[in-house]
Amino acid sequence: MNTMKTTAEVFIIESLKFEDERKNRFEGKILSDILALSGKRCLYFYIRTLRELRSVLQKFTESNYRYLHLSCHGNHTSMSTTLDTISFAKFANIVRPHLKQRRLFVSACSMANDDLASILMPSSGCYSILGPTQDIYFGDAAILWASLYHAMFTYDSSAMIGSVLRTKAQALANMYQLRLNYFGRDTSKKCGYIAKEITPASANPTKGNG
């Protein structure tokens, strides 16, 4: 099997609304700082436009980092930068060449769904997509992702195994009462991937700020 040599580090791209910027809701930057305390060498970029997204994704590929973390606003059909709304179809075309043998973590309300997975997973070579299925507060999101990465890197600092990632994500969903979607590559499936809804015993569907 042709396996690329990548580094088990997190590459964070963040883009927020102007109001979020004024209120210092930089979840991605906070996450980067927390991971740095654990000795991880995150790369963090803040962008405002689709054009910048294209450019920074190229930097992600050149970095050979394995984990792409997007911190932005989104919904069931699109993601947003500060100044642009990007449909899933356009987003998939942009990000697809950069995801081979990598994992995508999406910190955007409701964006990690079947519609995104169906156009991105089969042809990208991406190992997995993980993200919330509900609106969550910025503070909750920062704590969730910091906890998840800490748990995964403590378990194995050099790699993430899909089954372990799902187990850790389930534990955190239970702890923080958040619903997540996981999509993992599975070439035995006709669609090319498996889908798993990670749901706590009980959850408050009204939490969040979108």
Q: For the sheet containing 43-46, what is the strand order?
A: 43-46, 7-14, 65-71, 103-107, 128-132, 180-185, 193-198
Per-residue pLDDT at 64 exceeds 90: yes
Q: Give tens-digit pLDDT for 88-124.
A: 999 999 999 999 999 999 999 899 999 999 999 999 9
Q: Give tens-digit pLDDT for 76-86.
A: 999 999 999 99
- Is 57 inside any structural domain? yes
- Is 1 inside any structural domain? no
- Is 206 inside any structural domain? no
* pLDDT, greater one: 50 or 139: 50
Count of domains for the chain: 1
- Is 23 inside any structural domain? yes
The predicted structure's pLDDT at residue 1: 41
Give whole-number Cα distances, 93 to 54, 86, 141, 174, in Å. Answer: 10, 11, 26, 34
- Is 2 inside any structural domain? no
Q: What average pLDDT is seen over the chain?
A: 93
Run of H or E including 79? strand 78-80
Range of the structural domain that residue 22 is part of: 8-198
- Is 203 inside any structural domain? no
- Is 24 inside any structural domain? yes
Look up the CATH number of the domain holding residue 152: 3.40.50.1460
- Is 205 inside any structural domain? no
